[in-house]
Amino acid sequence: MNCLVKIRQIYEAFTTSEKKIADIIIKTPENAVGLTTNELAKYSETSPASVVRFAKKIGYSSYGEMKIELARNIEAETRPEIGTLLQSDDSLEIISKKIVNNIKLTLEDTLELIDFTNINQAVEKIKEADTVYLFGVGASSIVAQDLQQKLVRINKKCIFYMDYHLGLAGSLHIRPDDAVIAFSYKGNTKEVNEAVQQAKANGATCIGVTECLMNPLHPLVDILITLPKTEQEVRIGAVLSRYTQLMIVDILFTGVAKENLDATQEYLVRTRQLIDTLKKKPGY
């Protein structure tokens, strides 16, 4: 997992001294990577022992190992979002190449960040659930619809409400043997969080797909699937974050679908055949 992402993800769990060390690394990673244990301790007003403990707390055997990983992450961390890459005199060909390159790098970051223990737990809960309820607003609703279409085709009962007020009302009827998946990049969409809270109160297992930085959705869910920070506050649209969420959708879906490939194949063939009958009727 990306060193900087690790630090941000568990920042709230750090002690006061650890937060001082984390602040320096997060704010100036290019400078931090060149500091010795003693130098980082001096600049953070802590101690060399605190620096060593900090490195071990985020999963490294030593401060040196942490610095090596930090150096690898700096280039990806400082990569600008698509909107800031665009220039007014760019041709569509250049823009297309920039978009493709950023999507590729972002998906690699997403894969690096994934906790497959959580992914496997989410897949099992989806398979066991009587009904899967999906929640998402705006760009995240497109992602939720994509998963709904996939699950319905393999005979998994799945509900998603385009009208988020109707979705909130529907959350009242979620049962303990159901599963909820909430898509919210920033994790602060009130309509989604309220629905998750209600589902949790009803006893359902709640899964959150959201940014790795601490946000209001994190403490509400039972299983957290985190996404890398990709979007700025002011942006041309949800570009990279949409791709990261769709990647998670595809991973979850294939995890569910592979359980019984023969049955999955049969469901897919039958749904395809049913849709194809429409094309044979007059007027289509």
Tokens 């879906």 -> residue: 253
Token readout for 228 is: 């890398």
Stretches where the chain sits below pLDDT 50 are 78, 80-83, 233-236
Instruction: For strands 158-160 and 132-135, give the pairing.
Output: parallel
For the entire predicted model, the pTM comes to: 0.72
Q: How far apart are CA 1 and CA 3, in angstroms?
A: 6
Q: How far apart are CA 159 and CA 145, in angstroms?
A: 9
Residue 134 sits at φ, ψ, to 5 deg, of: -115, 140
Strand partners, 160: 134
Residue 185 sits at φ, ψ, to 5 deg, of: -60, -50
pLDDT value of residue 205: 98
Q: Per-residue pLDDT tens for 35-61?
A: 999 999 999 999 999 999 999 998 899
pLDDT value of residue 235: 47
